[in-house]
A and B are shown apart, each in its own frame.
Chain A
Amino acid sequence: MLVKVTVNGEKHEAEVEPRLLLVHMIRETLRLTGTHIGCDTSHCGACTVLLDGRPVKSCTVFAVQAHGREITTVEGLEQDGKLHPLQEAFMAEHGLQCGYCTPGMLMTGVAFLQKNPKPTEEEIRWAISGNLCRCTGYVNIVKAIQHAAATIQGGA
């Protein structure tokens, strides 16, 4: 089947099997390998991307379901050489270690901050509860999201 998608602002089309998972199209057809795979059951969130601005676990979406829609992956967060405030915050707050869950965390975090620009710690913890991290113990990820919220509020 022919799938036409816009990924990080660029138009792509690909002939795919109907059963192809979106994450495999992103990683293997489009060669955007920042989106990762960490489980088979939609628990870990390493494959989180934005589909029309909403975070989805791309291992649980068929590529054909993304037809005609806009996808943002971690590679699309940096705009004109300027990192997204959440990317800066993850570095500043040591919110990552092995980096494997990081792209999914970032995508969840970016979408969450758009919806809730002034979150409480509790709200942040619930927001990222669909993304597993084995390295950081989450404390610094929470701080990074708070840090980015403050930066965005400050209009930087």
Chain B
Amino acid sequence: MAPKTSPEVGGMGHSVKRKEDPRFIRGKGTYVDDVVLPGMLYLDIVRSPFAHAKIKKIDASKATAIPGVLAVITGKDLEKYNLHWMPTLMSDTQMVLPVEKVMYQAQEVAAVLATSRYAAADGVAAVEVEYEPLPVVVDPKKALEPGAPVLRTDKKDKKDNHIWHWEWGNRAETDRAFSEAEVTVKQDIYIPRIHVASIETCGCVAHFDKVEDKLTVWMTTQAPHAIRTVFALVAGHVGLAEHKIRIISPDIGGGFGGKVPVYPGYVIAVAASVLTGKPVKWIEDRMENLQADSFARDYHITAELAAKKDGTLTALRIKTLADHGYTDAAANPSKFPAGLFHVCTGSYDLKAAHVEVDGAYTNKPPGGIAYRCSFRVTEAVHTIERMADLMAHQLGMDPAEFRMKNFVKPEQFPYRSALGWEYDSGNYAGALRKAMDMIGYADLRREQAEKRQRGELMGIGISSFTEIVGAGPSKHFDILGLKMFDSCEIRVHPTGKAIARFGTKSQGQGHETTYAQILAEELGIPAKDIKIEEGDTDTAPYGLGTYASRSTPVAGAAAAVASRKILDKARKIAAHLLEVAPEDLVYEPGKFSVKGAPNRAKTIQEIAFAAYTNHPQGMEAGLEAVSYYDPPNLTYPFGSYICVVDVDKGTGEVKVRRFVAVDDCGNIINPMIVQGQVHGGLTMGFAPALYEEISYDEIGNVQGGSFIDYLLPTAVETPRWETGHTVTPSPHHPLGAKGVGESATVGAPAAIANAVVDALWHLGVRHVDIPITPPKIWRLLREKGVTE
């Protein structure tokens, strides 16, 4: 679709260069660790070497004797203010600092406050803690066995480690479909614990001004407004009031979901600043980040798929055990303890489905947040896409043909899934066909057959995913009761330039550019003349923040709606200036003209000037609008990815030779940025497919707790991504857009896993859990007698 606006205006569809870049390429961004205030103190944290232990004694005397160390803060200090525990977003509770026992390795034990970063670290090393180790529960299955040590002894009536049971769908209908099925497949799938590992870790500078009673916190947060309210609710009793809390989310060095939760370090820093009246900086290091911040995934899934002999899918049944660590600190909308996992019927027209999930406590860090994905959607997509491939292979059908047969058809939209979602729009076959054409699917299958003759291992994997993003309609979606709307406030200045502020917060997605393009599209004001601001709760309108690909679907929609409010007023002003009735005007971006007399026109800049200098009698001056947008539905981006792998028989190494990604995110705001989001998302799909995992030994020692063994892909391993797109607009979004930041992370792992299994299927391999590491494959090849 050709853009509606000129490149000078830079509305939707233009690859406008990013407004953020000039400061970043000069090293002039302002990230939280760049904030320095006069008299600022540094906070560092003592962490537990044990996964489960009683704290018998904390001796701070050697630490406080170190020059520069001012105080050592323990749980007992916070207990005086009832701040030693805090609520999680899922209505569970989490320790800020422990009073009795620690529940995972690297848990916060005490905090050292000092005049410098180095003195604080010295203090941490000098704090002596006496522990009494307790039995450790690492495996969530064992956690639920009778007789397992009960971990949450803080909960008076808790007699086991079961957190919750959640189920969705029609069990009886699904069971019946399975009992009548001609073909079924069943598979255990483990989706391991991983970490977003944004290159900037988490941290804050908390500054409590005792004169003004005002708390300002510069903080690595994706949701500054919600954080302000949480602080007011949790710490109201110690004198913090919401009008005197200001959260500033500065430039953020990657978020991906990891900067949604409130971590204990933030709370301790705030408490320390309130108590001392001095600014306090807390910046975690990489090991703290990987070992203690919220993890993602950790789903133990058993999935079953039923079909007719001709390949028509009939039913899906899933049981899952969710390992949440010692507390459920997931960041899901309140009503959805397993997030949107029930989008697991995926792109297929399944008539019956049932899914159940049980949460378990273990001696691991808390979490269950996203890893660059809408709530639990990767888990859902990985399951259905692996199962679809398993069924196709089982039936001896080509996986592409099998998918084509079972896709929800374009004419079925809006489509109500067996698990109750209303998919807005889609053309799944279109995306898959395009991906097959781009990669040369038929030729690859021929090549694979030839190679197999020669004993070479080559696989082709498909993933045809459907995402569910843009939370969400207020009827169903809230976080701690806060409805998941988002906002945009626009002010057009007298000279026709504008500023717009949003309730979201970019972490690299380029909102300063894309939001300006939305306004340019609607108002015709050049994008370069529009300043975008986010992240300061004293100035920006309230919103729920940026995660789950919700910025474009929700705040982007708010930008369009607020723009249209501006245009309503602009039309009246133009009518006044041109001395015609408002309905006698026609609008094109940036200009109202008189019907039939196109030369009689007023530009948006002229109208803006008149709004302050010559507005009609009886009309208020100014040209401003605000929208708090409550989406009528979620959006459902989709795509098809095809991946070709070669497996080294000697080493078990999997090499991704080609990877084609066709995405459909509806109407595109900035093609360059969309492609960049897909590249990044694919790399964060590739990473857990082949490299990343945080695991624990039997006594709860973390494996994968630093970049030494938590392997982020470098430029050498990362494939040269090939991207394409189709455009199926969302019918309910004002701009027809859907959101794209996470699609590729959600869709990519299954394509890679499917390709590996495809390469090994003839040897009898049916499934490989991610990450697909060389030792895992090497062992499989040995088992199958391929490698000696």
Contacts and interface: CB of A to CB of B under 8 A. Distances in A.
A34 B27 contact: yes
Interface residues of B, number: 57
B679 A106 contact: no
Given A134-B680, A134-B684, A136-B679, A87 B200 contact: no
Given A41-B707, A41-B708, A91-B18, A102 B24 contact: yes
A125 interface: yes
A73 interface: yes
A100 B683 contact: no
Of B27, B256, B683, B714, which is in contact with the most chain A CB atoms at under 10 Å from its CB? B27
Contact of B199 (A34, A92, A100, A130): A100
B26 A139 contact: no
A76 to B, nearest CB: 9
Interface in A77-128: 77-78, 83, 87, 90-92, 94, 96-103, 106, 121, 124-126, 128
B509 interface: yes
Contacts of A17: 118
Given A36-B31, A94-B673, A44 B508 contact: no
Interface in B16-31: 17-18, 20-31
Nearest to B716: A129
B29 A99 contact: yes
A93 to B, nearest CB: 9
Given A139-B720, A139-B721, A133 B199 contact: yes
Contact of A137 (B286, B508, B680): B680
Contact of B200 (A20, A27, A91, A100): A100
B398 to A, nearest CB: 29
Given A99-B508, A132-B714, A39 B24 contact: no
Contacts of B684: 134
Interface stretch (B145-153, B247-255, B586-594): B247-255
B37 to A, nearest CB: 13
B683 A138 contact: yes
B518 interface: no
B198 interface: yes
B677 to A, nearest CB: 8
A18 to B, nearest CB: 11
B200 A139 contact: no
Interface in B667-692: 672-673, 675-676, 679-684
Contacts of B672: 94
B277 interface: no
- Determine the main DSSP class of A at the interface with B: loop
Given A91-B21, A98-B253, A134-B684, A44 B707 contact: yes
Contact of B706 (A34, A41, A138): A41
Interface string A16-32: 01011000100110011
Of B117, B672, B707, B714, which is in contact with the most chain A CB atoms at under 10 Å from its CB? B714
A142 interface: yes
Interface of B: 17-18, 20-31, 33-34, 36, 117-118, 196-201, 251-254, 256, 285-287, 507-510, 672-673, 675-676, 679-684, 706-708, 712, 714-716, 718, 720-721
13 contacts: A27-B34, A28-B117, A43-B707, A44-B199, A77-B26, A78-B26, A99-B21, A100-B254, A100-B508, A102-B24, A102-B25, A134-B254, A136-B676
Given A99-B251, A129-B716, 6 more contacts: A74-B25, A92-B17, A97-B254, A98-B251, A137-B681, A141-B715
